[in-house]
Amino acid sequence: MADLPFLPYGRQNIDEDDIAAVVQVLRSDYLTTGPASAQFDEKLAQAVGAKHAIGCANGTAALHMAALALALGPGDCVIVPAITFTATANAARFVGAQVEFADVDPHNGLMRVEDARAAITRAQSKGWKVRALFPVHLAGQVCDMAGLAQLAREHDLTIVEDACHAIGGIFDGHRVGDGTFSAMAVFSFHPVKTVAMGEGGAVVTNDDALAQKLRDLRSHGITRDAARFRRPDLAFDADGKTNPWHYEMLDLGFNYRLSDIACALGLSQLTKLPAFVARRARLVARYDRLLAPLAPLLFPTNRQPRQNPGWHLYVALVDFPALGRSRTQLMESLRARGVGTQVHYIPVPHQPYYVDLYGRPDLPGTEAYFQHCLSLPLYPGLSDDDQDRVVDALFQELRP
């Protein structure tokens, strides 16, 4: 085993084209907020079918910007599924809003319409004004967006899709991020995601006003657009010409910009998005076939209908009590065989900050999913032989 490479649960896929694109920027006049940044926003919008894309520092920044753009604040409440990374809920807390955690499907970790409806009822019973839904497309599978959109209309809520796992996916004939069922969607370009930029994120929207707000928030709330200036006494000289040095801070924003270095990598990676999505889908189908004999000790998550997911993770559900081993024991044994695994995720309401804030909610679907989930290696550079090693290791551990 020592001569074989370790197989992590996820990793970036960088080739010479990507390296050349970054080197070209390093040799240019702009390292940040230059032409590559504008091109990345344009190409990302085209890739997901949205009118606007606003690239930013990371997926957490994207979620924060979305919450700010909706003017969420104290007294408001956001519905967030309990199975997600902490950033989804934290974005609401960053702006002072409350979070009501929704339960999830125990078989795939996705928030269902009935889960969101129950969470809305609980939040209203606490006197909170529910203003937004933040559904999470876990592992690449998309929530029932048509159903959630109908629920949102019934309660006058705004939907922000946490699509950090799902770029390149198709559901019901729609591209993830095309804005059919939501006001905004957010993406992440962390190295383990399908498109890697080192660090990076984006918000996409079809709403012109939201897009302008998001661009302001990304860069200190500052504009250099003379048409938006509010201080003509400072903006213009005696002849009415715009002072070339003038800028105005219209709102309290942040330094959430992306560098041209990162955007050069992102632009190169976007050209490979269809190939990355297709390779991940082939690996998922191959896992499904090769691991089928391990049922009922191990089986894949339930699949959503009418979807071609942009898979980020391959999550297996393991019956650890029937196996007679803990998840920790299995993960350590697999690691000794050169196979990395991970857990996505510890339920956010289990985190001490949220327990202190709200107590521990009773969410049976969440508990069931969390007790059984285990993410296996999945990334475009995983060869069939590598995947066979993962499968063989699982057979040796589960059926010695």
Tell me: the pLDDT tens digits for 361-376? Answer: 999 999 999 999 999 9
In 305-345, which ranges are E strands?
A: 307-308, 314-318
Q: Is the pLDDT of residue 55 over 80?
A: yes
237 vs 18 pLDDT, higher one:
18
Q: Is the pLDDT of residue 2 over 90?
A: no
Per annotation, catalytic residue among 51, 126, 129, 193: 193
Determine the pLDDT at residue 239. Answer: 87
Determine the pLDDT at residue 238. Answer: 87
Percent of the chain as helix, strand, coil, to the nearest 5: 45, 15, 40
- Cα(186)–Cα(161) distance, rounded to whole angstroms? 6
Q: pLDDT band for 400, please (50, 70, 90 cuts).
A: confident
Q: Please write the tens of the pLDDT for every residue from 284-331.
A: 999 999 999 999 999 999 999 999 999 999 999 999 999 999 999 999
Q: Is the pLDDT of residue 36 over 90?
A: yes
Q: How many domains does the chain have?
A: 2
Percent of the residues in the chain that have a pLDDT greater than 90, as a whole number: 97
Contact 186, 48 (CB under 8 A): no
Same structural domain for residues 223 and 246? yes
CATH number of the domain that residue 63 is part of: 3.40.640.10
Same structural domain for residues 211 and 323? no
Strands 298-300 and 170-171: unpaired
Q: Please write the tens of the pLDDT for every residue from 170-223.
A: 999 999 999 999 999 999 999 999 999 999 999 999 999 999 999 999 999 999
In the listed set 271, 302, 323, which residue is the last one of a domain according to the structure?
271
In the listed set 218, 250, 271, which residue is the last one of a domain according to the structure?
271
Q: Is the pLDDT of residue 1 over 70?
A: no
In the listed set 271, 289, 319, which residue is the last one of a domain according to the structure?
271
The dihedrals phi and psi of 14, each to the nearest 5 degrees, come to: -115, 130
Query: Does residue 243 sit within a domain?
Result: yes
Same structural domain for residues 186 and 224? yes
Instruction: Please choose, from the candidates 68, 194, 186, 77, the residue with its C-alpha nearest in 3D space to the C-alpha of residue 135.
Output: 186
Query: Does residue 135 sit within a domain?
Result: yes
Give me the domain span that covers residue 166. Answer: 16-271
How many C-beta atoms lie closer than 10 Å to residue 32's C-beta? 14
Contact 153, 129 (CB under 8 A): no
Same structural domain for residues 324 and 360? yes
Q: Is the pLDDT of residue 86 over 70?
A: yes
Same structural domain for residues 117 and 165? yes
- Cα(337)–Cα(356) distance, rounded to whole angstroms? 39
Asked if 193 is an active-site residue, the reply is: yes
Query: Does residue 9 sit within a domain?
Result: no
Collect all residues with Cβ–Cβ distance below 8 Å to 330 and sequence separation of at least 6.
Answer: 318, 320, 323, 341, 374, 397
SS3 135: coil
Going from the C-alpha of 121 to that of each of 97, 115, 187, the distances in angstroms are 17, 10, 29
Q: Is 357 left (phi over 0), alpha (psi -120 to 50) or beta?
A: alpha
Same structural domain for residues 299 and 251? no
